[in-house]
Structure 1
Amino acid sequence: MLLFQCTKDAAEALTVTRKGVIESFVETKPAPIEQTAWVWQLHAVKIDRKLVFIAMQADTRFAMVFWGIKKGDAESLLQLFFERLANHVFWLVEDAQALDEQAAFKMVDQLLEACRSLAFHAGSDRSVQTHINEVARQCKYGFDAVGHLPDNREEAAGFDENMNQMPRSVRGGSYFFPAQELLCNTLRDFAGFDAGKLSAVRQAVQEAKRRQGAEMLLGHAQLMNPQEGDAMQALIEQLLAQGSKGKKSLH
């Protein structure tokens, strides 16, 4: 079951009055949290006088932002939510090379099937809301930088991707990356990955991050001082080779 816990602002944004009748998609009573429920906290802010919804998965803190949604238009919000979620999960699996294409599509289908049962209920978690507020600030910074809201396709997905690569910590615990946590939770719940396979996925993701960082460092060094580029490249390649030792296969 997919459960949206809606803050007061989100509940208000999903409520409209038509011909004197109040219509809302949100149940006013908080829902009892089932162990099988997949909980996303939903919040709404206004940027440039337009509604912006922020949905954050409670366990992984993975966030998606939906820009310029009309008040009370839960249908459009849900359509964008499922499209974006499917794309993000598929891209994460593809980047980690955790599944082949056929298996990845099968896993995404199972995920969406599990979300057929859904509900909007009033309620919020203070810890999740703290992270949502951070995302909201980044939304406002982004708008101030470019002067317009992103579309709800490639631009919005790119914004999500950047947000979910930032480390987070819950109640002073260890830092983690929301994108990696969503990937591993999805592989566990919908592709049957055990602890050993998930450990290999995490190692592969960290190696990819390290390699990307090293390549960025090399590019910067060559740009700043081309004469030292060869020496820097040799050093970085040595570091990458050391990091690759003992790397396990995902399959």
Structure 2
Amino acid sequence: MLIFNCSRAFADFIEDKKAGTRLVETPPSKDPAADALLLRTHDGEPPAHVWQWQVHMVTVRRRPCVLVMEHDSRYSMLFTRLKAGDMAGFVSQMLERLLNQQYTETLALGEPPLASIDEMAHSLMQQHSDFRFFLRSERSVQAHLNEVARDLADQAAASSSLPEGHEQCAMFDDHCNNYIRSSKTRPDWFYPQQVMLWRWLHDFGGYTEAGILRLQQQQQAQQRAFQSAQFAEILAKAGQ
């Protein structure tokens, strides 16, 4: 089950005013961690998987810009051309880009993926075909989302433009998700893209925890080798 925790600004933006019924609901609890126990799927069963996202809307250069952030990884995404009241369009665009971004990151690991992009999409929808929109905010996540919003405003002011379309928005996503962050739920500093990728591969990519640990160790070894090569190059230049 996908949970979209909405700020008031986003809730007002995404509600279909013509529908006559509010789709952004009152949450079952102020604590998102309680959702797995309190919510039920359309089949009346407790959700086997719960994935929490925070959603906010800001106005930049007179345009509504929607920002989403995954609670655990702080992975964020930007949308600058969503239509007001189009909840289905928002979910579709968000999942499509997330799938494409994570499959691209999987290919960048340098080994054949265990699951195709179609298999990943199937696993994603199998686990999260049910959605809920709640008027609720997690303070720490919202604080990080506000930082992303300020970054967007600064870039828009500097360039006198906004990212347009999925490709340019994805470039902004990549910039934000490779910015080191910290949170009370994690003992060390982390990069949102890395945390998201490991979760993605575990949940939708066919990797076991042992397989992900192997990939992490390979990535760390590659990073150490790259840093050593850079250091050796600096020493060589200093000796000239």
Q: TM-score, normalised by structure 2?
A: 0.80
Over 3 Å counting, the alpha-carbon distance change for 1:200 and 1:15 in structure 2 is same
Is 1:166 matched up with 2:179?
Answer: yes
Note if contact 2:115-2:205 (Cα within 8 Å) is conserved in structure 1: no
Which structure has more relative contact order (CA 8 Å, sep 6+)? It is 2
1:180 aligned residue: 194
Structure 2: distance between partners of 1:133 and 1:115 = 26
Task: Look up the SS of the partner of 2:197 in the other structure.
Answer: helix
Unaligned runs of 5+ in 1: 219-230, 237-251
Please report the TM-score for the alignment, with normalisation by the length of structure 1: 0.77
Larger-Rg structure: 1
Distance 2:16 2:111 in 1: 44
> C-alpha displacement at 1:108, in angstroms?
3.5
Who is 1:228 aligned against? none
- Structure 2 Cα separation of the partners of residues 13 and 212 of structure 1: 46
Identity score, percent:
29
Give CA-to-partner distance per residue, 1:174-222, whole Å, 9 cap, x none.
Answer: 101111111111112223433322122223334555667788x69xxxx
Letter in 1 for 2:24: V
Whether the 8 Å contact between 2:114 and 2:205 is mirrored in structure 1 is no
When residues 125 and 110 of structure 1 are mapped into structure 2, their CA distance, relative to the original with a 3 A threshold, is same
8 Å CA contact 1:56–1:62 kept in 2: the answer is yes
> Take 1:131 and 1:152, find their aligned partners in 2: how far apart are those partners?
23
Equivalent residue, structure 2, for 1:128: 141
Partner of residue 33, structure 1 = 35
Q: Distance in 1 between matches of 2:35 and 2:215?
A: 30
Cα RMSD for the two superposed structures: 2.8
Distance 1:212 1:109, change over 3 A: farther
Query: 1:7-18 counterparts in 2 under 5 A?
Result: 7-18=7-18
1:5 alignment partner in structure 2: 5
Letter in 2 for 1:188: H
Q: Secondary structure at the match of 2:57?
A: strand
Among 187, 208, 211, which residue is 1:194 paired with? 208
The partner residue of 1:83 within 55, 74, 96 is 96
CA distance in 2, matches of 1:14, 1:170: 29
Count matched residues. 221
Summarize the alignment of residues 1-251 of structure 1 with structure 2, pairs less than 5 Å apart: 1-18=1-18, 22-30=20-28, 32-34=34-36, 36-97=49-110, 99-100=112-113, 102-171=115-184, 173-208=187-222, 232=233
1:19-38 deviation digits (Å, cap 9, x = unpaired): xx755431134565117211
